[in-house]
Amino acid sequence: MSEMIHDVGDELAAAVAVPGEITYRTLDQFFTFIGGTTMLLGRALAYVTRVAVDARDTIAQMSSIGVASLPIVLVTVTFSGMVLALYSAQTLVTYGFGGMFVGGAIGLSIAREMGPVLTAVVVAARAGSAMAAEIGSMKVTEQVDALRALAVDPVQYLVVPRLVAAVVMLPAITILADVVGTAGGYIVAVINGVPGGSFMSSLQSFVDPGDVTKGLLKTVFFGATIAIVGCYEGLQTTGGATGVGRSTTRAVVLSIVLIYISNFFLAYVLFGGRTAGV
């Protein structure tokens, strides 16, 4: 009987210890990730401030991150703007407010949120995964160690060009995404009964250059997030081809989650005070 009670007690103790172990492991991984990415960003920025950037590699990464991602970004934002216009035009035209608010609502939504965020998410899925996979493959095949043996810092050679390219190209393709997204919304709104002149008048009334500029400013942070997370996960890769797959998945998931989290705080800082003042 005493042995049975002892066994039950051991099982209960083990069951109670599991959540604590999981929590500890999760917190350890979280702080390791935050510390590692922060140090990686600091080292990369140190090279950037010294202008120790390889122009040829940076231009190649700008093509890979920006130009190659442009078609899918434009398609995503265009049809998102069209869907937004479809819903807003149908609702507001029914109550007689279509000409007054549809253009402004679509323009603000795309300039402040849909353009920057959707662009960042698409680039994270396409280019962020490629960064993690490429650097992860180099890591497991010991090419990163070979760079160190040749006295070449992997941060300068691999991370800095990707960071600069992402920070430069995210705002550039977001501008095009804003334009085509608004144009798609305009077409659908006109088809659904909103006068074209009223749409443009509403757009000019509600959207000012500051909205567009602040939306583009958000993409600078998004670009840095995508590059640093993708490179960090690639450099941490172990375990061969399976490890590369895990790192790629983690890079995409973490980048998208961090984009949405940082988007809230950036929106609060950039737009919250103005809204509260109104």
* Res 248 pLDDT > 90: yes
Average pLDDT over residues 183-192: 91
Q: Of 67-81, 143-157, 183-197, where does the model show the most confidence?
A: 67-81
Q: How confident is the model at residue 178, as a pLDDT?
A: 95
When pLDDT is cut at 50, 70 and 90, the band that residue 127 belongs to is very high
* Res 39 pLDDT > 90: yes
Q: Distance (Å, rounded) from C-alpha 168 to C-alpha 158?
A: 16
* Res 51 pLDDT > 60: yes
Q: How confident is the model at residue 22, as a pLDDT?
A: 59
51-55, 81-85, 111-115, 171-175, range with the lowest pLDDT: 51-55
Q: How confident is the model at residue 276, as a pLDDT?
A: 45
* Res 221 pLDDT > 90: yes
